[in-house]
A and B are shown apart, each in its own frame.
Chain A
């Protein structure tokens, strides 16, 4: 039986682990490698590493950092941050990523998504849809700094038909606040595409995961919740399993 995934997210500024709040991520909170090792110890389903300063600084996430995280894991790793060319994409895969998350570059040029899917396979291409706020008709690019007049549903449709294999749905207004996820948008986006949707941003307790999955998400992701509250990926899986969700039970 196919299982839903619970995915911890690590945010970095290129040097350290940072905490995000509404896409502002100045607060350094530790070492990326240390955090990756802890999650590996906890036998998570998958891990996501996003460099939130890369686009702003005009660079791509450093392969050395990707490798240092990939070397800790025997589960899949999705990586994003400033990937703007096919060379960036390839370098990120070669450094150890299994899937590459495209943000700004995909929104600005959906053909890049197609080119990446053709060269590396759709299953390696994840596109981030950063909804600005609940009910907003707009998304954001450049780590939440620039508004684009396009609804999350429209963007999701466009990149899915361009070849994205997975959509990472985030919410700028709910990011890092532990207050719950944007369920109507999750439902709308999940209903608009036929590729898996990973719902992220806003989860603060296990019940939020359940809600997101009930609204059509294939997987759920969280950053702040796993690093700054007592809750753990295992606790999430146990909770979801008890509520009848198909979830992987780690050994």
Chain B
């Protein structure tokens, strides 16, 4: 099957939640165009008004919680809030396979001058969940996706700090609970719909895979009562400030953030997704299921912003996107999947299970064709007329 690609950027319509209009322009490009019409000054005022509403001038509590991974975006989230004279509590939900550079970047955030809490879920349980996520829904990062929401929200409840400051809201065309519409809270329904859970839920594991309910505490959302009592809500900075990953990288680097020495495997840049060795696998499975990987996402962002032409983007993607993840940030695949109890061959068998064969070149017998490095080739890297 030939994918249909946006005529402006290079995102395909197989991307979850991406709408194309009648002219073949994707919703992300349309949303970007609409940025010009946004009154960003007014948005900033709204933002300040909300922050002030939650600012704690007495009692020595924190004004807000900022979930931070150490990456370029969370570094900028912290910089912005510090600029406003806000006292944040930074929360890191420790990632699956923390890299040395990732650790350095978390330390860098602390040294911007903030209180910081790291919650590291039980790594033995975590590795089980990585494996289950990989085998059941083709997403090794499933526990990560859950944890980056549940852990900061649990901290919010535990420390009694209601306002969470997230970065970009990739779902902003559908909205979501936002402090501006203050009656909504980040409830489970929102998490189910927008949290990218691929349908698998924490309750499935406790009921069917014999992992005790207690072991899943970090991945469990606080109760509705607790959320309401504390009044937990969140806002997305991307709603109030024109968000740009590369600008954030520059700002972050100017404040001590480290990037990688070369373009990262599977990507086309060196300044993001530096904290978790498993990300290469996560991105590869996106390619297998939907026919596009990390390079496509990033190329599309830069085309939208006029830094690359569409033609250049198509060329880059054809050469870089969806490569088999033999290493990530230099760590070999065997060392990444080994701790999960998998061999590379077992990993490859799981890849095959989730590969959408209709998108890739196959031989006469219907088997996928791989090059000498194990890479697949898509049937089309651009629209077929």
Contacts and interface: CB of A to CB of B under 8 A. Distances in A.
| A/B touching: CB–CB < 8 A | yes
Interface of A: 14-16, 26-31, 33-35, 37-39, 41-43, 62, 64-65, 68, 226-230, 232, 234
A16 B16 contact: yes
A28 B13 contact: yes
Interface of B: 1, 3, 13-20, 136-139, 188-189, 192-193, 198-201, 203-204, 207-209, 289-291, 353-354, 356-359, 366
B359 A15 contact: yes
Contact of A227 (B137, B199, B204, B207): B199
A65 B358 contact: yes
Given A28-B18, A41-B200, A41-B208, A33 B353 contact: yes
Given A33-B353, A65-B358, A38 B19 contact: no
A29 B192 CA distance: 12
Contacts of A28: 13-18, 290
Contacts of B14: 15-16, 28
B199 A35 contact: yes
18 contacts: A15-B290, A15-B356, A27-B17, A27-B19, A28-B16, A30-B16, A30-B198, A31-B198, A34-B136, A34-B138, A34-B198, A34-B354, A38-B204, A41-B208, A41-B209, A64-B358, A228-B192, A232-B203
Contact of A232 (B136, B201, B366): B201
A134 B209 CA distance: 42
Nearest to B291: A15
Contacts of B199: 30, 34-35, 38-39, 226-227
B19 A16 contact: no
Contacts of B204: 38, 41-42, 232
Nearest to A40: B136
Contact of B289 (A26, A34, A64, A227): A34
A229 B207 CA distance: 18
User: Which of A35, A39, A41, A62 counts the most chain B CB atoms within 10 A?
Assistant: A41
Nearest to B139: A34
B201 to A, nearest CB: 7
Nearest to B354: A33
B198 A14 contact: no
A229 B194 CA distance: 11
**Residue with the highest number of chain B CB atoms closer than 10 Å, among A14, A35, A42, A62:** A42
Given A41-B204, A232-B203, A35 B198 contact: yes
A51 to B, nearest CB: 12
Contacts of A29: 16-17
Given A37-B137, A41-B136, A62 B358 contact: yes
A219 to B, nearest CB: 21
Contacts of A62: 358
Contacts of A38: 136-137, 198-200, 204
Contacts of A27: 16-17, 19
